[in-house]
């Protein structure tokens, strides 16, 4: 939705241009009041643990917001609209207990970020660190001889706990061994 200001607009109010048709634009308070009446606007003043917020948080249901007749259908335009009014968008679990998007009014967002309440938009696909198992084919100090994926290998003693126990066959014998499926194996010289 783009707002175009023209000298011939009705009573000095701008017209909103949305999909080729001109619609009179609501003022900011009128639009927020329409969101509240439609049930798309839900305010929170307390956290999930019962402590009060220094400001208030708002959750806006996008489906109800887009169903309003004179509403801002585009999410990017709505985000710019809310930012212009002094709201900051965050994603947190601290308000309702579920990871959801909220708009904080005139706050820097530091209140919830200070206690690790702000969550990333997209969770990371892998953890910050991956487990690496060090193995060697020759005996070394602090390495333990185990059957790993069908071979006798020396595994660093502290890394055996990352391996999964499994009955495997090594040299024609069935023994209690380990598998490193899904882990990174680093072969030492």
- Please indicate, yes or no, whether residues 63 and 145 belong to a single structural domain of this protein: no
Distance CA 1, CA 110 (A): 31
- Please indicate, yes or no, whether residues 105 and 137 belong to a single structural domain of this protein: no
Non-local CB neighbours of 23 within 8 Å, separated by 6+ positions: 15, 16, 17, 70
* C-alpha closest to that of 112 among 43, 52, 28, 38: 52
Residue where a domain terminates, one of 79, 113, 147 = 113
Name the domain count of the chain.
2
- Please indicate, yes or no, whether residues 37 and 103 belong to a single structural domain of this protein: yes
Q: Which pair of structure tokens corresponds to residue 41?
A: 């606007």
Range of the domain at 39: 2-113
Q: Is residue 122 part of a domain?
A: no
Q: Is residue 119 part of a domain?
A: no
The reported pLDDT for the residue numbered 125 is 58
What pLDDT tens digit does each residue of the chain (189 aa) get? 333 344 444 444 343 434 333 334 557 777 878 888 888 888 888 888 888 887 788 888 888 888 887 767 788 888 888 888 888 888 888 888 888 888 887 755 455 555 444 455 555 555 556 788 889 888 988 899 999 988 899 999 888 888 989 998 888 889 999 998 888 888 886
Residue where a domain terminates, one of 113, 144, 178 = 113
The reported pLDDT for the residue numbered 21 is 38
- Please indicate, yes or no, whether residues 144 and 96 belong to a single structural domain of this protein: no
Q: What global pTM score does this model have?
A: 0.43
Cα three-residue angle 52-57-59, rounded to 5 degrees: 135
- Please indicate, yes or no, whether residues 100 and 139 belong to a single structural domain of this protein: no
Q: How many CA atoms lie within 13 A of 35 on its CB side?
A: 24
The reported pLDDT for the residue numbered 116 is 46
Q: Is residue 178 part of a domain?
A: yes
Bridge partners of residue 185, in order along the sequence: 133
Q: Which helix (H) or strand (E) holds 28?
A: helix 28-37
């Amino acid at each position: 939705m783009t707002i175009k200001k023209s000298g011939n607009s009705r009573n000095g109010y701008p017209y909103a241009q949305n999909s080729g048709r001109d619609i009179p634009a609501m003022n900011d308070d009128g639009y927020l009041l329409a969101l509240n009446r439609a049930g798309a606007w839900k305010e929170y003043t307390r956290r999930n643990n019962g402590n009060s917020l220094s400001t208030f948080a708002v959750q806006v249901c996008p489906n109800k917001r887009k169903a309003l007749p004179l509403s801002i259908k585009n999410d990017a335009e709505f985000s710019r609209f809310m930012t212009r009014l002094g709201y900051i968008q965050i994603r947190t679990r601290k308000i309702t207990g579920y990871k959801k998007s909220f708009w904080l009014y005139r706050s820097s967002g530091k209140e919830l970020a200070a206690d690790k309440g702000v969550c990333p938009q997209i969770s990371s696909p892998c953890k910050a660190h991956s487990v690496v198992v060090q193995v060697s084919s020759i005996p070394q100090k602090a390495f333990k001889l185990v059957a790993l994926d069908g071979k006798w290998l020396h595994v660093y003693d502290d890394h055996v706990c990352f391996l999964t126990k499994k009955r495997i066959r090594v040299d024609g014998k069935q023994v209690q061994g380990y598998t490193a499926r899904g882990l990174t194996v680093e072969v030492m010289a």
